[in-house]
Amino acid sequence: MPEVTAPIALLIDVNGGRVLFERQSHRRFVPASLTKIMTSYVAFELIKAGKLKLDQRFRMSAETFRKWHRVGSTMFLAQDSETSVAELLEGIVTVSANDGCVVLAEGVAGSVPAFTAMMNDAARQLGMKDTHYNTPNGWMDEGATYVSAADLATLSTALITRHPDLYARFYGHERLAFRGIEQPNHNPLYGHVAGADGVKTGFTNEAGYGLVGSAIRDGRRLMMVVGGYDNGKVRARESRDFLEWGFAAFEAHPLFAQGTQIGTAKVQGGEARTVNLAAPHALALTLPRGSGARYSLAVRYKGPLRAPIAKGDEVASLIVRVPGERETRLPLVAAEAVPVAGPLARLRNGMLAMLGQ
């Protein structure tokens, strides 16, 4: 394994759900612009739900302009200018636009506090127990905003697997040209690590240098989080070596392709009495390169599940057991929606229950 001097470090194989390396992965730290991963995630969730459109335009108010014009990383939004959601997301993701984050937050929720409340609600839903957001852009706030490497990995995995099309559209770009100004993306993986497509860099004097990095090769995705570097060049060199080691030292044994139906779960109070369980993305068994691949599989869920269930909701786990290894839990999602039962379905369910079925 290469040297990784970051005080906080985590490397996981997304397909196999396996932690390849960790150091203080649950320690809380200041994320700086890594905060913007959640900002984009909230926007993606709203777009998926039909509550936000990419062609909607939000205005840069005079007050927001005075506060955020040329503060840190910026996309140089002009006072009273109107910018589309798509343009704002491009600026936030590619050049870490602090001004773009605030305009998006105010446009979506009416105020920054209302938007950060949405960010914290999303964090709770994802089970991010060591995270709190006080700002949409990660600007220094005396530690009121904090995250952990494990939570960032959870968030970034959800960002990619729940919104693959939006992720592919907005992440992985090396440059941004906007309002006649061209700026580079400072992700040190781009152009150096094959398959690198994200996720986000972060730096303030308060936080040091951090990075959430991701790369995919032959359908296999690795996710890396490092935090607390005091030198950007060291972060760049070590993070590249870190990901390359993950691809070289471990190998994936495919289990199920994305969308494969793996089992069923019982449902209570729904139009259907069962729901099919599917792989949300390609699932694999990750093992040290050259080791054997004997394993057993089991589906586990807390049941019966209660309706309503939305298509794509994570509702169960695939348990993978390998002799001599800790068991691995891989997510399974609902393959279809199950609405709350109507009168006829309730009658049917009651009669079947009386018959012991």
| Residues annotated as catalytic (active site), given as ranges | 33, 36, 96
Alpha carbon 263 to its chain centroid, in Å, reads 25
CB 263 within 8 A of CB 255: no
* Residue count (the chain): 357
